[in-house]
Amino acid sequence: MNPLLVFVLIVWLISGIGLILFVLLHSGKGTGLSDIIAGQVYSGTTGTSLVEKNLDRITIIFAVIFFITLLVLMGIYPKGTIG
């Protein structure tokens, strides 16, 4: 296997797992793991917590990395060829 391919696959796997974890950390309607972790750290102007904003940023970063590595893998393996 090509070392670049191994690197892209590892980054894709880590970003996929990270994306799943950070999506699960988001709260639904005020109840969730982020509220338990955040405690009383709320911004007075918008009503959303600082932790929730950071979770949003990290989730977006993981999603972008996942999408870019997916496009790279699609370029490496055109039409589903593996070999």
For the CA atoms of 25, 37, 61, 70, the dihedral, rounded to the nearest 10 degrees, stands at -30
DSSP secondary structure code for residue 78 in this structure: G
Q: How far apart are CA 76 and CA 70, in angstroms?
A: 10
Kindly report, residue by residue over 35-60, the tens digit of the pLDDT: 666 655 554 445 567 877 888 899 99
Q: How far apart are CA 15 and CA 60, in angstroms?
A: 11
Q: How far apart are CA 62 and CA 22, in angstroms?
A: 9
Kindly report, residue by residue over 60-77, the tens digit of the pLDDT: 999 999 999 999 988 887
pTM of the model: 0.71
